[in-house]
Chain A
Amino acid sequence: MNFDQNTLVMIAIVVVIVATVVKTLLDVYRRPKEPVTVVKTLLKCTKCDYIQEVDYQQGDFIGLLKGKCPKCSSTLKVRGIYAIELKK
C-alpha cells in the first residue's frame, strides 16, 4: 500500500495521541503497591540493659510485664509496639 506524505503524518499523529491516552489511563488506574508491614513488640529488662524485639502477640500493650530476662532473670517489660515495613 502506498501512502502519500500527508496520510503518513496523520497516521503518526493518531499513533502518538493513542499512545499518550493509553499511558495516561495506565498511570491513573495503576494502584500504587501498599508496603507490607509487620508489627513488633520491643521488650526491655526492668533491671539490666537487655532489649529484645519479638513478633507482636494479641494482648501485648506498652507497659505489660512479659517473660524473664535471659541475662539477669528479672522481668521483661513491653517498652514499645510498632510496625516495620518489610523490604521488597
Chain B
Amino acid sequence: MANSSWLDYIWQLVFITFFIMIITGTNQRIQMKIWIYDIRSKLNVIRSYAESSRARIIDALRKLGAQDPEYSIAKYIDFFAISPVEIEPIDIIKRLDHILRTEERAIKSFFEKLLPNAGKYERSLLESSLEVAIVLNYLYKVIRHYILLGEKQNNWVLIMQLQLQMPEVMKVAATYYKALDAFMSAKPVGDSIGAIVAYRLIEESDVLSRKTVEDTAIVEARLDSRRVFIVKAEGPGSNVGKPGKVLSDLVEELSGNVDLVITVDAALKLEGEEDGEISEGVGAAIGDPGPEKIAIERAAAKYNIPLRALVVKMDLASALKPLKKELYEAAERAADYVKRLIVENTPENATVIVAGIGNTVGVTQ
C-alpha cells in the first residue's frame, strides 16, 4: 500500500468520526465534560475562599476568648433575610427597614453573647467579616447547586451559561476574599471614601458640638462662615450607621431650616471610566436597599431643600479592597469640591448638612 493510500484512509476515518459525533451530539457531551471540569476546578477555589474566611474568623474569635466559635459560626454562616412582599407596596419601606434592623440586631446580639468582654470596635470588625464569609459561603453553594443540577439533568445549556459566567463570579469571589483582610485589620476600603471626605471637612472646620445617634456621628461646625452639620457613620470600627434616618431627624430638629444637603459616596464606575473620577449631580448618593435613601429624599422634598450629590467612581474590587492611593487622593479632591459647592450654592451664615456615606472602617470622626 502506498503511503498516500493509508493516510487517505486515516483522513476518511477522522472525517467520518467527526461527522458521526456531530450527528449524535457526542461533541457537545465532550464539550460539556470539559466545561464541568473547568467549573469544578473554579468551584474548588471558591470553596477554599469560603473555608479560609470561616477559619480566620473562628481563629480571631478564639483569640478574643469566644467559647466554641466553630459551632456558633456554623450556625450563622447560612443566616439570611427574606425580602418583604413586593406585590403589596403599601408601607414596603417600613417593612424593609424593620427586616434590615432585625437582621442587624440579630448579628450584633450574636457577637455580644459570643464576645461579652470584647469592645464595640472589635465586634464591628468581626460582624463585617462574618458578612463577607456569609457571601462567600452562599456563592459557593449557588454555583455548586447549578453545576450539580446541570449534571443531573444533562442540561448543557445550563452548564454553558455557568461556564460563561464563571470569570465574573471568580472576580467577585476573589474581591470578597480580599475584602476580609481589610475588615479584619480595620483598613479603610474604597467604600470608606464618603467617611474620609466627612472626616476631612471636620478636621478643617471649627467644631462646635459632637454627638452620636444610632451609630452615626453628627458634628456641628463652622466652615467658610456657614453652619455645617457633618454626618458620618461612627468610626473607626466597621459601620455604615443610619445616615438617612439621622439626617431626616436632624432636618426635623432644625424645623427644615436647611439651605443645602450634600451626600458624598463611592459609586460603581462604568468600564472605561477612571478610578477616582469625581462626578456631581442631584439626589441622594447612597447605595442602601431603600430605607436610608428614601428618608433623605423625603426630608429634602418636605422642606424643599436642594439635594446635591457627589460621587467618586471605582469598580467593585476597589470598593471592597484596602483604599488605593489614587482613591485616597480623590477623597482629598472631593473634600475640596464639597467646600466649593457649599460656598457657591449658599450665602454666608447658611445651614448646610453634609453626609459622608459608606463604611467608616479605619476612619474616626
Q: Which residues of A contact B (CB under 8 A)?
A: 1-4, 7, 10, 37, 39-40, 42, 56, 58-64, 80-84
Contacts and interface: CB of A to CB of B under 8 A. Distances in A.
B337 interface: no
B325 A62 contact: no
B187 A56 contact: yes
Given A3-B3, A10-B11, A62 B363 contact: yes
A83 B185 contact: no
Interface in B285-341: 321-325, 327-328
Contact of B323 (A61, A63, A81): A81
B248 interface: no
A10 B7 CA distance: 10
B186 interface: yes
Contact of A63 (B324, B325, B365): B365
A82 B325 contact: yes
Interface string B327-365: 110000000000000000000000000000000001111
B322 A62 contact: no
B322 A61 contact: no
B219 to A, nearest CB: 12
B7 A81 contact: no
Given A62-B188, A62-B364, A83 B3 contact: no
Nearest to A5: B4
Interface string B174-198: 0000000000011110000000100
A82 B318 CA distance: 11
B244 interface: no
Contacts, number: 67
18 contacts: A1-B3, A2-B3, A7-B7, A42-B328, A56-B187, A61-B186, A61-B188, A62-B199, A62-B236, A63-B236, A63-B364, A80-B196, A80-B328, A81-B187, A81-B322, A81-B328, A82-B188, A83-B325
Contacts of A58: 185-186
A4 B187 CA distance: 69
Contacts of A7: 4, 7-8
B243 interface: no
B241 interface: no
A83 B323 contact: yes
B325 A61 contact: no
Interface string B1-27: 001100110010000000000000000
A7 B327 CA distance: 61
A63 B4 contact: no
Contacts of A80: 196, 328
Contact of B199 (A3, A63, A83, A84): A63
Given A81-B188, A82-B325, 5 more contacts: A60-B362, A63-B235, A81-B328, A83-B323, A84-B325
Contacts of B236: 61-64
Given A58-B185, A61-B186, A62-B362, A83 B4 contact: no
Contacts of A82: 188, 322-325, 327-328
Contacts of B4: 2-4, 7
A3 B7 contact: yes
A56 B323 CA distance: 12
A10 B363 CA distance: 67
A80 B110 CA distance: 33
Nearest to B203: A63
Nearest to A10: B11
Contacts of B187: 39, 56, 81, 83
A85 B186 CA distance: 19
B363 A39 contact: no
Contacts of B188: 61-62, 81-82
Contacts of A2: 3-4
